Amino acid sequence: MKSSQKIATALVLCAAALFPRFSFAQSIPAAIHAQAAPLPGPYDERGWLDRFYAPRKYAPAWNPQTAAAALWVLRQAPVQGLDPQDYGADDLQQQLRSGHADPARFDVALTTAMLHYLADLRVGRVRSEYHTGKSDARLKRYDPVERLRTGLAAGKLRDAVQAAEPQLPLYAQVKAALAHYRELAQQPYPALPVPQAKVKPGGAYADTQALFERLVLLGDLPADAVRPAEGIYGDKLEEGVRHFQARHGLEEDGVLGRGTVNALNVPPAQRVRQLELTLERLRWLPDFGPGPLIVVDLPAYRLWALQNGGTEAPLEMRVVVGSAVRTETPLFVGQMRYLEFNPYWNVPRSILEKEILPKLARNRAYLKQHDMETVPPDASVADLKAGRARVRQRPGAKNSLGPIKFAMPNPMDIYLHSTSARELFERSRRDLSHGCIRVEHPAALAQYVLGGQRQWTADAIQEALQPGPTKHVDLARSIPVVLFYATAIADGEGGARFAADIYGRDVKLEQELAARRQSSNISAPTSAPRHPR
């Protein structure tokens, strides 16, 4: 018998010891009704318990078999990057084993735990950080009451859990990566020696065998790779280090320096936590249809153009994002609706005040030198300062947006665009913009978003990118765009990529999750009065 089957059988036997009391406890419906109160948390939870129990006239919902099944489900929460203790799994199981629980209160506690678990799995444990264009807008809403009621009635709680999982393929990929790194976290992981100076290929390194084993363990070298010579940092090790550097957002120079070795020494348990935070953020996202989807992972400085509901990624490129010091790019879910070839750059008010006006005070020819103009044309500096006029940059070689802008209308005026500063894409750290996203391959992205419009061939796009008048092109249908934030993400090849927490959002999310844990501790009462037989 498999271990999971043994656990389930034991839970059923424990539950059977508790649930016979139900036939003798005349006050159970009243006890359930008394506890059907609003629950703490980020959901629209008022009335959850009333709506669950009212159709059954406040009769108990659980029997030995279904209670055991529910507890088994809660014990599997780590697979989803969730913690069983956030749902009182140990306390509830202990109540069954001891046989001392108040049956009514146990029933409500188990229902509460399952409602929380389904809702957490569907929409996340804390409120979404994403902007949607509306104040305090939720990306999606979910009512777990009917889902739990249906799953319980059909004896298919596991199906209810599976249906609650986000359907984006990336979620399943990150779950697989999480399982892999949990396994790694169970293995010895001694620290590699950090070199005093950078070690280039052919140089000496104190422990090449440990480095080799680490690269094999992490999947950056194949398991059948030939072991290196003792003490020499050779070509095969360099190959593995380059692969590791690429996965971790480091400069891909193949040099074994302090930063690379420190990254190699990050314990798998920390990577597990990063992947768990990614699953939480994926739960915030809406369900996307089978059409195209653009995802930008800000700390990874990468863009993916997806097809077929996210199962295919025909296009991937590097991006430049907002500066962590001055102008973070916001998290955002929106719709790309049109392109502009040879666009004007309408200078944001913040840039005008902080950068252009001081430069204009020192050099009155600044606007002319940078192909900029005021609107209206005869506006004075006083008009600019007072907000009666604005500045824009004409299309052309000096234009900050380059030859194309990808527009997704939003109150923050965030968009994707090309750039003439191509050298920025060669940097390993690319949080260098004022907030908008600069894309590495604008022509390829234009071809992707205009793919359903036959007149926009590759040649037509190249022609439109040449200097000329501004051209506005509406998309045949809008394309969802997600400005995402993940310091750990699946790479589509069974592994994972990791990035620095450039905006400190992992730290903030950890704090919010800790606060949620303190505010909604779910458990069965440990000293409930026993009902007389």
Of 32-41, 107-116, 226-235, the poorest mean pLDDT is in 32-41
* 349 neighbors 384 (Cβ within 8 angstroms): no
Q: Which amino acid is at 330?
A: P
* 110 neighbors 62 (Cβ within 8 angstroms): yes
Q: How confident is the model at residue 26 (pLDDT cuts 50, 70, 90)?
A: very low
77 vs 313, residue with greater confidence: 77
Closest CA to 287 of 142, 490, 159, 153: 142
DSSP state, 471?
Answer: E
Check whether 527 has a pLDDT greater than 80.
no
Closest CA to 278 of 150, 178, 377, 197: 178
Q: Would you call 436 a catalytic residue per the annotation?
A: yes
CA 344 – CA 158 distance, rounded (Å): 54
What integer is the mean pLDDT of 61-73? 93
Task: Return the number of other C-beta atoms located less than 10 Å from residue 499's C-beta.
Answer: 22
Check whether 173 has a pLDDT greater than 70.
yes
Q: How confident is the model at residue 226 (pLDDT cuts 50, 70, 90)?
A: very high
Strand partners, 320: 438
Look up residue 94 and give its two tokens: 């202990």
- Tell me: the pLDDT tens digits for 117-164? 999 999 999 888 777 654 334 456 788 999 999 999 998 999 999 999
CA 53 – CA 31 distance, rounded (Å): 12
pLDDT at position 281 = 96
Of 48-62, 77-91, 189-203, 241-255, the poorest mean pLDDT is in 48-62
Closest CA to 15 of 53, 57, 70, 59: 70
Q: Would you call 417 a catalytic residue per the annotation?
A: yes
CA 181 – CA 221 distance, rounded (Å): 16
Residue 180, CB half-sphere, CA atoms under 13 Å: how many?
Answer: 17
CA 140 – CA 136 distance, rounded (Å): 12
Look up residue 54 and give its two tokens: 């009212």
Q: Which of 116, 417, 472, 531 is catalytic?
A: 417
Name, in order, each residue with C-beta under 8 angstroms of 50's C-beta and a sequence gap of 6 or more: 36
Show me where the domains of the chain are located: 3-165, 208-266, 345-394
Strand partners, 405: 340, 417
208-266 classified as CATH 1.10.10: no
Q: How confident is the model at residue 258 (pLDDT cuts 50, 70, 90)?
A: very high
pLDDT at position 21 = 47
Look up residue 375 and give its two tokens: 């609107």
CA angle at 386 for the pair 380 and 388, rounded to the nearest 5°:
70
Check whether 23 has a pLDDT greater than 50.
no
Check whether 8 has a pLDDT greater than 70.
no
Q: How many angstroms separate the Cα of 510 from the Cα of each of 68, 485, 513?
A: 31, 14, 5
Check whether 529 has a pLDDT greater than 90.
no
Task: Return the number of other C-beta atoms located less than 10 Å from residue 290's C-beta.
Answer: 10
What integer is the mean pLDDT of 285-292? 89
Name, in order, each residue with C-beta under 8 angstroms of 355's C-beta and a sequence gap of 6 or more: none
pLDDT at position 271 = 98
Closest CA to 268 of 184, 377, 382: 184
Which DSSP string corresponds to 455-477? Answer: T--HHHHHHHTSS-S-EEEEEEE
Check whether 521 has a pLDDT greater than 90.
no
Q: How confident is the model at residue 532 (pLDDT cuts 50, 70, 90)?
A: very low
Cβ density class 3-15: b for 16+ within 10 Å, e for less: eeeeebeebbebb
Phi, psi for 3 (deg, rounded to 5):
-60, -40
CA 508 – CA 40 distance, rounded (Å): 20
CA angle at 514 for the pair 508 and 519, rounded to the nearest 5°:
125
CA 255 – CA 53 distance, rounded (Å): 63
Check whether 407 has a pLDDT greater than 90.
yes
* 217 neighbors 237 (Cβ within 8 angstroms): no
What integer is the mean pLDDT of 507-524? 82
- What percentage of residues in the chain have a pLDDT greater than 90? 73
pLDDT at position 374 = 95
Phi, psi for 163 (deg, rounded to 5):
-70, -25
Instruction: Please report where in the chains the tokens 């359903």 appear, as a residue.
Output: 452
CA 174 – CA 220 distance, rounded (Å): 18
Q: Which of 131, 180, 248, 436 is catalytic?
A: 436
